[in-house]
Chains A and B, each alone.
Chain A
Amino acid sequence: MLDAGRSSLGSVSARSVLGWVYRFILFPIGQMLVFIVGAALVLTLLSYLLALLFPEPRPNISLMTQVNRQLPGMIVSGITIGFVYAMIALGYTLVYGVLKFINFAHSEIFMFGSVVGFEVMQRLAEGGNLPGWSPVLLVAFVVLAAMLASGLLAVLIERVAYRPLRGAPRLVPLISAIGVSFFMIDVVRAFQAITRNDFNLTYPLNNLEWIRNPVKLAIGEATVNIRPTQFIVVLGAVVTLIALNYFVNGTKLGRGIRAVSQDMATAGLMGINVNRMISLTFFVGGAFGGAAGALFGMNVGTVTPFVGFIPGIKAFTAAVLGGIGNITGALLGGLTLGLIESFLNGLLVYFPVLGQRYTDVFAFSVLILILIFRPSGLLGERVDEKV
Chain B
Amino acid sequence: MQFKRSVFFLFVVVLALSVPLVGAQDAQVIKIASQSPLSGPQSVLGTSIRNAVELAIEQLSGPLTEMGYSVEFVPFDDQATPDVGVANANLLVNDAAIMAVIGHLNSGVAIPSSEVYNDNNLVMVSPANTNIAITDRGLPVVNRICGRDDTQGAAGAAFAASLEGVESVYVLHDTTAYGQGVADFFQKAAAEEGLTVLGFEGTTETANFEGVIQPILALDPDLIYFGGIYSQTGIFINQARAAGYEGLYMGPDGFDSSEFAELAGDAGVNTYYTTVAAPPTFYPAAAQFIEDYTAKFGEPPQPFAAQAYDSTGIVLAAIQSVLESGEELTREAVAAAVRATENYEGMTGTYTFDDNGDPELATYVILQVGSSDPAEWSNNAVLADFQAPSPLAAAAEATPSS
Q: Which residues of B contact A216 (CB under 8 A)?
A: 244
User: Which of A74, A214, A310 touches B214 (beta carbons < 8 Å)?
Assistant: A74
Contact status B242-A214, CB under 8 Å: yes
Instruction: Select from chain B the residue with minimum beta-carbon distance to A211.
Output: B242
Tell me the complex Cα distance, A81–B207, Å.
11
Kindly state whether residue A80 has any CB partner on chain B within 8 Å: yes
Q: Is A296 an interface residue (CB 8 A)?
A: yes
Do B262 and A202 touch across chains, with their CB atoms under 8 A apart? yes
Residues 164-189 (chain A) with a chain B CB within 8 angstroms = 189
Q: Is the CB of B41 within 8 A of A199?
A: yes
A148-177 vs B, CB cutoff 8 Å, 1 = contact: the mask equals 000000000000000000000000000000
Q: A307 — which chain B residues lie within 8 A by C-beta?
A: 206-207
Q: Is the CB of A77 within 8 A of B242?
A: no
The one of B39, B202, B262 that contacts A200, using a Cβ cutoff of 8 Å: B262
A356: CB under 8 A from chain B?
Answer: yes
Chain A interface residue count, Cβ-Cβ cutoff 8 angstroms: 46
B120 CB-CB contact with A under 8 Å = no
Judged by a CB distance under 8 angstroms, whether A374 is at the interface is no
| Pairwise interchain contact A345-B211, C-beta atoms closer than 8 A | yes
| B218 part of interface (Cβ distance < 8 Å) | yes
Task: Answer whether residue B43 sits at the interface, using C-beta atoms and an 8 A cutoff.
Answer: yes
Do B215 and A206 touch across chains, with their CB atoms under 8 A apart? no
B211 proximity list for chain A (CB < 8 A)? 74, 77-78, 81, 341-342, 344-346, 356, 359
Q: Does B399 lie at the interface of the complex (its beta carbon under 8 Å from any beta carbon of A)?
A: no
Q: Is A255 an interface residue (CB 8 A)?
A: no
Using A303-B207, A307-B207, A346-B211 as known contacts, say yes or no to A200 and B244 having CB atoms under 8 A apart: no
Min distance, Cβ A163 to any Cβ of chain B, angstroms: 25
Q: Mark A184-210, 1 if CB is under 8 A from B, else 0.
A: 000001000100000110100010000
Residues from 221 to 237 in A contacting B, C-beta threshold 8 Å: 222-225, 227
Q: How far is the CB of B223 from chain A (nearest CB, A)?
A: 17
**Interface status of B20 (Cβ within 8 A of chain A):** no
**Interchain CB contact under 8 A, B201 and A206:** no
Closest to A66 in B: B218
Report chain A residues within 8 Å CB of B200.
Answer: 355
Kindly state whether residue B375 has any CB partner on chain A within 8 Å.
Answer: no
- Complex CA–CA separation, A302 to B267 (angstroms): 14
Question: Is B238 close to A, CB under 8 A?
Answer: yes
Contact of A206 with B207 at beta-carbon distance under 8 Å, contacts A66-B215, A77-B214 already known: no
Contact indicator A299/B262 (Cβ below 8 Å): no
A344 to B218, CA, bound (A): 15
Taking the complex as formed, is A350 at the interface, i.e. its CB lies under 8 A from any CB of chain B?
yes
Closest to B198 in A: A61
Binary interface encoding of chain B residues 232-258 relative to chain A, with 1 for a CB under 8 A from any of its CBs, else 0: 001100110011100000000000000
Given A73-B217, A202-B263, A302 and B238 contact (CB-CB distance below 8 Å):
yes
B217, B239, B266: which contacts A206 (Cβ < 8 A)? B266
> How far is B110's CA from A271's CA once the two chains are assembled, in angstroms?
63
A302 touches B210 (CB 8 A): no
Complex formed: what's the CA distance from A235 to B259 in Å?
32
A33-86, CB < 8 A from B: 66, 69-70, 73-74, 77-78, 80-81
Q: Quick one: CB contact mask for B258-293 with A, threshold 8 Å, 1 for yes? A: 010011011000000000000000000000000000
B266 vs chain A, min Cβ distance (A): 6
Inter-chain CA distance A302–B218, complex, in Å, is 25
A81 touches B202 (CB 8 A): no
A219 within 8 A of B: no
Closest to A347 in B: B215
Among B39, B242, B244, B263, the most chain A Cβ lie within 10 Å of the Cβ of B242
- Assuming the contacts A349-B201, A357-B203, asked whether A206 and B244 have C-beta atoms less than 8 A apart, the reply is no
B207, A342: Cβ atoms closer than 8 Å: no
Query: Is the CB–CB distance between A356 and B214 below 8 Å?
Result: no
Is B325 close to A, CB under 8 A? no
Residues of B with C-beta under 8 A to A202: 262-263, 265
Asked if A100 is an interface residue, CB under 8 A from chain B, the answer is: no
B347 CB to closest chain A CB, in angstroms?
27
Task: Find out whether the CB atom of A212 lies under 8 angstroms from the CB atom of B39.
Answer: no
Task: Decide if A301 is an interface residue (CB 8 Å cutoff).
Answer: yes
What separation, in Å, do the CA atoms of A357 and B173 have in the docked complex?
Answer: 10
The reply to whether the CB of B94 lies closer than 8 angstroms to some CB of chain A is: no
In the bound complex, residues from chain A placing their C-beta under 8 Å from that of B219 are 66
Q: B3-35 vs A: 1/0 string, CB under 8 Å?
A: 000000000000000000000000000000000
Chain B residues at the A interface, C-beta cutoff of 8 Å: 39-41, 43-44, 175, 199-203, 205-215, 217-219, 231, 234-235, 238-239, 242-244, 259, 262-263, 265-266, 372
The 10 closest A-B pairs by CB, nearest first: A345-B211, A225-B244, A77-B210, A69-B218, A349-B215, A70-B218, A346-B214, A73-B214, A357-B202, A300-B207
A-B contact pairs, 12 of them (CB 8 A): A73-B214, A77-B213, A81-B211, A200-B231, A214-B242, A223-B244, A300-B235, A302-B234, A304-B207, A307-B207, A349-B215, A356-B201
